[in-house]
Amino acid sequence: MRRARRYILLTNDVLCLSFSLLAAIWLRYENLNSGSLNFFLWMMPVSVLAGIGIFGSLGLYRRSVRFTSIPDLVAIFTAVTALSIVKMFLLLATPHAAFSRAVFIMDWVLGLFLIGFSRVTPRILLTLTDFEPVRKMVFGEVRNRPKRILIYGAGRGGESVAREIRRNEQLPYSIVGFLDDDSRKLGSIIHGAEVLGDRSILNRVCHEEKVEEIVIAIPSASGEVIREIIRVCRDTLVRFRTLPGMQDLLEGSLLSMQLRDISVEDLLRRAPAEINLAEIAAYLTGKTVLVTGAGGSIGSEICRQVLPFQPQAILLMGHGENSIYLVHQDLSAARNLGQTRLVQIIADVKDEARVDAIFQEYHPDIVFHAAAHKHVPLMEINPEEAVKNNILGTYNLVNASHQYHSERFVMISTDKAVNPTSVMGASKRFSEMVMKVFAKRSATRFCAVRFGNVLGSRGSVIPLFKRQIEAGGPVTITHPNMIRFFMTIPEASKLVIQAGSYGKGGEVFLLDMGEPVRICDLASDLIRLAGLEEGQDIKIEYSGVRPGEKMYEELLTTEEGVTATRNKKIFIARPEMLDEEVVLSYLSELRNAAVAGDRSLIIGTLKIAIPSYAPDRDQIYNHHNLKNDLTIPLKKARPKFKVV
């Protein structure tokens, strides 16, 4: 079939080139005498043979006529022009040199028109037959009634969607029109569909035009825009779909596969984080990188984002064998693995001897410490585990990084460490203090990075809401005024890695988390995304604030303040003054209390060490049966821990 199409194109071009030359001679001399006929008979085979050779060498016969576009017409222009130049040189080198040069100008114009028209005509006919009235008139048939869609976004994304719908008969869509917030596009016609207005008329257009589906064709549309579209159309039975990011668009092949339902990530979408690849490569390339908690949400994503910088090795450390196995399989299949060695290490950060043995064997240059207990209510009823894992585990890694001369140490912290009301938050705040103590004396560049909730992490609220919606409800929320910051896992990991390049020693970096989100609004949006109505299909119930929870989170204390970095989404909390001996004394006391299971002493020590720690006394007494006095004096003992 392909060979037959090429023969048809060849025949077409032979006829076009022959006719254009003959017509040019006739137009120039207004008759065809014996001299002009002799010239035509001499020049025609030269023109045809040279033309076929040039057209073939420029790939004109490999191009699909069905999809002729501007690049194809440019190629035709180049080929016909090259042919005319060749014919001019041949004329000058022959006895026909006295023949009029005007013939070649007219031949060039006519050849360009005929070859171009022969390529464009099939595309025009195919486009016309895509319109139902023409199809019915010409073929006497009508396809199944297409779905009426409205495209939000009249830019490149929207044009691509409309073009693909017009081209691909398998896509059962009929374009009602476009909406775009750029007033300059109002009234424009794109592939036969009009730009009707901005999103303020969305509700009216949906009703008047009986829209069945809305395609948000702006891959970079903000979460605010998407949430507004959903709110405006919540009274209509319209499905929402969107385009993926630009990388997915480039890799995709069919529009039907690229269009997807709107996700919660779209609702919280914001401008992508910008990072300096050269700065990151400077401290990661060729290095041995240890990632603790590598099987977790953040740890595994850090591994994925470190990999393209071609470190010598990535040490995947975690205590869950299944999660480490899975992330190792994922990374092993990555296209950009290169020569990087992946090492699976099953170990617990609480095991000081094991941590020391790992550092002694591998001597990691860079450490990303993502292992932690992060579940607030669980740590409230298991405070000794928060101390062992979050505080003592951090000490083990910080001490080993110092002893074995690691270059950099980046600890993942949390916004719950600011003015903590939970054991988990207090344990992470104290871990920051331990890191800062070592940073004063060590050649290792220690730093911590604070940020809020990440979407899709294990144990986060969004997967819970989705499961509750799938089960038919109710969706449970602790309090109607509960507010949280959210960030995607890839964005948080990317900024953590960038912050690691800024660390000079002891900094606590803060990530710009964007606008806070009311949890009840997020739940309502998720219910609507599922095609259901809050209150009718799915109820929202309030269960009360859980132990250790705050109504809203903060990223820094009033005393800290911030200074900017080179990245507009990364800030540095101003340093706090710490007494090394006092911090290490608290650390020793916390270790003894955790080993002994003395919860009263744990909470009392954390309260003294972190004055801003404000545990809920009623909840504490409920869970631990603690004494009423939480100001427990520390023993005047020589601290077990020290920085050598």
What is the residue-wise DSSP string for 597-628? Answer: T-HHHHHHHHHHH-TT----HHHHHHHH---S
Q: What is the pLDDT at residue 467?
A: 82
Under the banding of pLDDT at 50, 70 and 90, the label for residue 216 is confident
Residue 73 vs residue 551, higher pLDDT = 73
Residue 253 confidence (pLDDT)? 40
Mean pLDDT of all residues in 539-555: 73
Claim to verify: residue 338 and residue 461 sit in the same structural domain: yes
Same domain? For 619 and 470 the reply is yes
Whether the predicted pLDDT of 385 surpasses 90: yes
pLDDT band at 328 (very low <50, low <70, confident <90, very high): very high
Q: Is residue 628 part of a domain?
A: no
Q: Tell me the average pLDDT across 326-349.
A: 91
Instruction: Tell me the angle at which helices 223-232 and 519-529 cross, rounded to the nearest 10 degrees.
Output: 60
Q: For residue 513, is pLDDT > 80?
A: no
Domains: count for the chain: 3
Kindly state whether residue 213 falls inside one of the protein's structural domains: yes
Q: Are residues 333 and 464 in the same domain?
A: yes
Kindly indicate the confidence band of residue 191, based on its pLDDT and cuts at 50, 70 and 90. Answer: confident
Q: Are the C-beta atoms of residues 390 and 431 closer than 8 Å to each other?
A: yes
Task: For the sheet with 173-179, list strands across it.
Answer: 189-190, 193-197, 173-179, 147-152, 213-216, 239-242, 260-261
Residue 130, CA distances (Å) to 122, 140, 364, 474 in order: 13, 13, 62, 47
Q: What is the pLDDT of residue 128?
A: 60
Instruction: Name the band, by pLDDT with cuts 50, 70 and 90, for residue 380.
Output: very high
Task: Taking the CA atoms of 375, 379, 381 and 382 in sequence, report the sign of the dihedral they define.
Answer: positive
Q: What is the mean pLDDT of residues 446-457?
A: 83
Whether 635 is covered by a domain: the verdict is no
pLDDT at residue 232, rounded to an integer:
65
CA pair distance 304, 331, nearest whole angstrom? 7
User: Residue 282's pLDDT band (boundaries 50, 70, 90)?
Assistant: very high
Instruction: Look at residue 217 and tell me if it is in a domain.
Output: yes
**269 lies in some domain:** no
- pLDDT beyond 80 at 441: yes
pLDDT exceeds cutoff 80 at 180: yes
**Residue 7 clears pLDDT 90, i.e. is over it:** no
In contact, 452 and 229? CB cutoff 8 Å: no
Stretch 434-439: mean pLDDT = 94
* Domain end call among 262, 297, 330: 262
Instruction: Looking at the structure, tell me whether residues 311 and 247 fall in a common domain.
Output: no
**What average pLDDT does the chain have?**
80
Q: What is the mean pLDDT of residues 503-526?
A: 82
- Per the rule left: phi > 0, alpha: psi between -120 and 50, beta: everything else, 177 is left
Instruction: Say yes or no: 62 and 164 in one domain.
Output: no
Report pLDDT for 186. Answer: 87
What are the Cα distances from residue 263, in Å, to 54, 242, 472?
A: 51, 9, 19
Q: 67 is written with which tokens?
A: 């999809």
Q: Are residues 516 and 571 in the same domain?
A: yes
Mean per-residue pLDDT for 298-316? Answer: 95
Is 250 inside a domain boundary? yes
Are 158 and 185 in contact, with CB atoms under 8 Å apart? no
Residues above pLDDT 70, as percent of the chain: 76
End of a domain among 84, 107, 128? Answer: 128
Please compute the mean of the pLDDT values over residues 579-602 and round it to a whole number.
Answer: 93
Q: Are residues 312 and 455 in the same domain?
A: yes
- Of 234, 262, 290, which one is at a domain's C-terminal end? 262
Regarding whether 413 and 536 lie in a shared domain, the answer is: yes
For 40-54, 223-237, 342-356, 360-374, which range has the lowest pLDDT when averaged over its residues?
Answer: 223-237
pLDDT grade for 65, boundaries at 50, 70 and 90: low
Among candidate residues 342, 374, 368, the one with its CA nearest the CA of residue 495: 368
- What residues are paired with 341 via a beta bridge? 313
Q: Are residues 495 and 610 in the same domain?
A: yes
Task: Using the predicted structure, report yes or no on whether residue 252 has a pLDDT greater than 80.
Answer: no
Q: Measuring CA to CA, how many Å separate 419 from each of 410, 540, 633? A: 22, 30, 21
Indicate if 35 and 146 belong to the same structural domain.
Answer: no
Write out the residue range of the structural domain in which residue 12 sits: 2-128
CA distance 160 to 497: 35
- Mean pLDDT (whole number) for 111-127: 78
pLDDT of residue 337: 81
Asked if the model's pLDDT at residue 621 lies above 60, the reply is: no
Same domain? For 191 and 281 the reply is: no
Residue 631 lies in a domain: no
pLDDT tens per residue, range 400-410: 999 999 999 99
Q: What is the pLDDT at residue 87?
A: 78
User: What is the model's pLDDT at position 5?
Assistant: 67
Lowest mean pLDDT of 297-301, 377-381, 629-633, name the range. Answer: 629-633
Helices (H), 168-287: 202-208, 223-232, 246-251, 255-258, 264-267, 277-284
Same domain, 156 and 255: yes
Using a pLDDT cut of 90, give the percent of the chain over it. 31
pLDDT of residue 101: 66
Residue 355: band (very low, low, confident or very high) from pLDDT cuts 50, 70, 90: very high
Residue 442 lies in a domain: yes
pLDDT value at position 255? Answer: 44
CATH number at residue 433: 3.40.50.720
